[in-house]
Amino acid sequence: MITIIDYGMGNLLSIENAFRYFGAKVKITAQPEEIEKAKKLVFPGVGNFAEAIKNLKRKKIDLAIKNSIQKGTPFLGICLGFQLLFEKSEEAPKIKGLSIFQGKVSRLKKVKIPQIGWNQLKIQKKSKILKGLKGGSFVYFMHSFYPKPIDKKIIIAKTNYGIDFCSSIESKNIFGVQFHPEKSGKVGLKILKNFVEI
Amino acid sequence: MLAHRIIPCLDCDLEKPGGRVVKGIKFKKIRYTGLPWELAERYYKEGADEIVFLDITASAEKRTTMVEVVKKTCQKVFIPITVGGGIRSVEDAQRLFRAGADKISINTAAIQNPKLVKKLSKTFGSQAVVVAIDAKSRGNWFECSIYGGRKFTGVDAILWAKKVAELGAGEILLTSMDRDGTKEGFDLELTKRISKSVFIPVIASGGAGKKEHFLEAFTKGKADATLAASLFHFREIKISELKRYLKEKVINVR
């Protein structure tokens, strides 16, 4: 069972459809208890960093997420859900992120913003979540910000857009991707399947 | 590197059962081509980078809603979906996002109420807001039209493009009314001028007739993406073939 965290930020139906497409069972919830009990968690999100943190706090989901991660529940952050795992963001300088990882989220510079479209993964090391993917695989991005982890060892893929930025991380039970696997065709479905099979 | 995108556009007449996809020529004549979600799935499998649905129903009495079309499509199609036509408020947009749309596209409502662009991008993020510009050449300038090309506004397309980018639009879907349906090629001058005026992606539309047209839209027109309808619907060009051709010409495509 995959539990998708609903905190009012974006298109959950697409993620749900993608998991269901290959037969995974999916539950969508905004309940902290459900999140703490979950077998596997998906943390999606599009929109604004500050707005997202505000919603998480209001629904008291922030603590539930931290507890689950600490317990070792496999956890996949997507796009804004990936960025929220860091300490802070240039999008909302006064707001504290979930701070699971050290580092901040920066704005893309000297390129057309948002980055919209298909870009390639430069795979940095072996990982569970990108298992079976070729280097250079295309995935779909829609974002203006990207995280800069202090601990470079967690970076499993980078993508070039003006600079080489961190587009995927993996650290024990925690996975994060800046792109949208649910919108990345076969490659994206493979990543979600990898997560289901972890 | 960020790839150039190929986007099939499906104009939907929601008065027909299932919301039939239609093809207009120069914004007027109409032919029917198929069911939206079936065509969308075919394109997804052929390697389309995104799908655009445009509601071109003129009347308010719709049998099928765009929400149903999007919901059905999203069960099997795992690439981004943009919906345009008749969106006038944050609530209209919200309904489509909930159904599985990734972006919405607005034209008439944006011109009549530019604040809506700002409101939508604040609520859903810039990446989810496309402003469609239907432009007609007036010699040394381009005029924006609304209501699916039925009304002219006196608004200069280049100034308007800059304005919507400032208001928070994430992309511009630029259609040349002079070229739409003609198969004579994209309006390269218009595309280049808009693309150089804004710092957001520009999707060129209107006039695609052969593979070379897509190539020149990227190289000469500086488009970030290209959009076409009838060429793909009638299988005159397959998306997979088009991409193979562009790769040979060293254009970065997926």
Instruction: Check whether B23 has a pLDDT greater than 80.
Output: no
Contact B34, B21 (CB under 8 A): yes
**Poorest-confidence range of A47-51, A58-62, B200-204, B225-229?**
A47-51
Q: What is the pLDDT of residue B155?
A: 98
Q: Is B102 left (phi over 0), alpha (psi -120 to 50) or beta?
A: alpha
Q: Which of A16, A79, A91, A166 is catalytic?
A: A79
Contacts of B124 in chain A (CB under 8 A): 10, 46-47
Query: How far apart are the CA of A185 and the nearest CA of chain B, in angstroms?
Result: 5
Do residue A11 and residue B199 have CB atoms under 8 angstroms apart?
Answer: no
Number of other CB atoms surrounding residue B32 within 10 Å: 11
For residue B34, pLDDT beyond 90: no
Chains A, B: CB contacts under 8 A, how many?
A: 98
pLDDT of residue A30: 94
The Cα B194–Cα B201 span in angstroms is 10
- Cα-based distances in Å from B156 to B9, B85, B245: 25, 21, 35
Q: What is the pLDDT of residue A40?
A: 98
Which chain B residues contact residue A138 at CB under 8 A?
A: 3, 254
Q: What is the pLDDT of residue B28?
A: 55
Helix axes B211-219, B239-248, angle to 10 degrees: 50
Active site residue A182: yes
What is the reported pLDDT for B233? 86
For strand B129-137 and strand B142-146, is the pairing parallel, antiparallel, or unpaired?
Answer: antiparallel
> CA dihedral defined by B36, B42, B46, B50, rounded to 10 degrees?
30
CB contact under 8 A, B170 and A116: yes
A-chain residue closest to B46, CA distance: A185
A117/B79 CB distance under 8 A: no
Q: Which residues of B touch A18 (CB under 8 A)?
A: 78
Residues from chain B contacting residue A183 (CB–CB below 8 Å) = 78-80, 102
What residues have CB less than 8 Å from B242, skipping those under 6 apart? Answer: B6, B211, B214
Confidence of residue B27 (pLDDT cuts 50, 70, 90): low
Question: Given A16, A91, A170, A182, which residue is catalytic?
Answer: A182
Cβ atoms of residues B121 and B137 within 8 Å: no
Q: What are the structure tokens assigned to A50, written together?
A: 């500050």
**Residues near A33 by Cβ (< 8 Å), separated by ≥ 6?**
A64
B5-248 in CATH: which number?
3.20.20.70
Known active-site residue B134: yes
B102 and A14: CB-CB below 8 Å? yes
Nearest residue to B92 via CA among B105, B76, B80, B79: B105
B2-11: pLDDT as tens digits: 999 999 999 9
CATH fold of A2-197: Rossmann fold (3.40.50)
The reply to whether residue A17 touches residue B75, judged by beta carbons under 8 angstroms, is yes
Query: pLDDT (tens digit, 9 = 90+) per residue, B190-205?
Result: 999 999 999 999 999 9
Q: How confident is the model at residue B56 (pLDDT cuts 50, 70, 90)?
A: confident
**Domain spans of chain B, in order of start:** 5-248
